[in-house]
């Protein structure tokens, strides 16, 4: 069975770009039109929805669905990328925070909030992506954007870092939440770990590992693909 159009729920590993995943799928299944439904940074892992064929027309609808993340935020360190892969700008010593202090600070980021996107992001300004300007040593003023964070739940907190589950709208930068939380606590913070747990109805538990995306596994891969008919019923629901 070979689907000409559909969706693959892929577990993007850390260390590669979302574009690299799309390129791999395109090469393996041999379909001209392939795209993803929401970028994951190279340091992030988890659910990356890849659509192909006529299903690429549903990209925007699928992209707008709620996302959930598992995020670890490290206190006391500020980086230029707002995550652990960046260059350290500042490190501060601080007394470890209590769970109630962290929870109180996090509560300010629940609801409809304004965010300034990270300088290292794929948003376009002056005809170039922000990360291209950042790599050239150019910093530009970014406009605040409204996003919705439905909930933030603390999973673990040792006073020096916090692991939390975040449910949010499309377009939310978890790196910005980490950065802004650090500012609120007065010690700086950066994102140490990020995994997308779900995108809409598609979950991490059901995602396909990258090693499964190869030409020798094409039949099994297509059996795991979601048909365009199913996708249309989901997006019209």
Catalytic pick from 41, 82, 83, 180? Answer: 41
Q: Give the Å distances, CA to CA, from 16 to 20, 37, 43, 48, 194.
A: 6, 16, 7, 12, 14
Which runs of consecutive H residues, i.e. helices, occur in 55-202? Answer: 59-63, 99-107, 130-135, 174-185
Going by C-alpha positions, the residue among 186, 202, 208 that lies closest to residue 12 is: 208
Give the pLDDT of residue 8. 97
What backbone phi and psi angles, to 5 degrees, belong to 68? -125, 145
pLDDT surpassing 60 at residue 145: yes
Query: CB–CB of 200/63 below 8 Å?
Result: no
Scan for tokens 């699928």, then name that residue: 62
Pinpoint the residues of the chain covered by CATH 3.30.2350.10: 6-64+200-235, 67-198
* Three-class DSSP category at 167: strand
* Three-class DSSP category at 105: helix
Query: CB–CB of 29/202 below 8 Å?
Result: no
Scan for tokens 């990258």, then name that residue: 210
pLDDT surpassing 70 at residue 214: yes
Query: CB–CB of 112/146 below 8 Å?
Result: yes
Query: CB–CB of 168/69 below 8 Å?
Result: yes
Average pLDDT, stretch 187-209? Answer: 97
Q: Does domain 6-64+200-235 have CATH number 3.30.70.330?
A: no
CATH code reported for the domain at 67-198: 3.30.2350.10
Question: pLDDT-derived band of residue 3, with 50, 70 and 90 as boundaries?
Answer: confident
Q: What is the pLDDT of residues 88-140, one digit of tens each?
A: 999 999 999 999 999 999 999 999 999 987 756 666 666 666 566 556 666 66
pLDDT surpassing 70 at residue 146: yes
158 is a catalytic site residue: no
* Three-class DSSP category at 7: strand
Give the pLDDT of residue 143. 80
Question: pLDDT-derived band of residue 5, with 50, 70 and 90 as boundaries?
Answer: very high
């Amino acid at each position: 069975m070979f689907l000409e159009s559909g969706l693959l729920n892929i577990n993007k590993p850390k260390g590669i770009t979302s574009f690299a995943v799309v390129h791999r799928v395109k090469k393996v299944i041999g379909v001209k039109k392939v795209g993803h439904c929401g970028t994951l940074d190279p340091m992030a892992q988890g659910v990356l929805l890849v659509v192909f064929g006529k299903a690429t027309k549903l990209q925007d609808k699928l992209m707008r669905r709620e996302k959930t993340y598992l995020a670890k935020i490290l206190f006391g360190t500020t980086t230029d990328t707002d995550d652990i892969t960046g260059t350290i700008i500042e490190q501060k010593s601080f007394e470890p925070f209590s769970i109630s202090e962290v929870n109180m600070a996090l509560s300010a980021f629940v609801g409809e909030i304004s965010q300034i996107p990270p300088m290292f992001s794929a948003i376009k300004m002056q005809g170039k992506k922000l990360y291209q300007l950042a790599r050239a040593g150019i910093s530009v003023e970014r406009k605040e954007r409204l996003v919705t964070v439905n909930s933030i739940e603390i999973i673990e907190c040792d006073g020096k870092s916090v692991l939390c589950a975040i449910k949010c709208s499309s377009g939310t930068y978890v790196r910005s939440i980490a950065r802004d939380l650090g500012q609120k606590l007065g010690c700086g913070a950066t994102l140490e770990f990020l995994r997308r747990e779900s995108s809409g109805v598609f979950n991490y538990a059901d995602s396909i590992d990258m090693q499964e995306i190869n030409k020798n596994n094409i039949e099994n891969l297509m059996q795991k693909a979601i048909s365009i008919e199913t996708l249309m019923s989901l997006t019209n629901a």
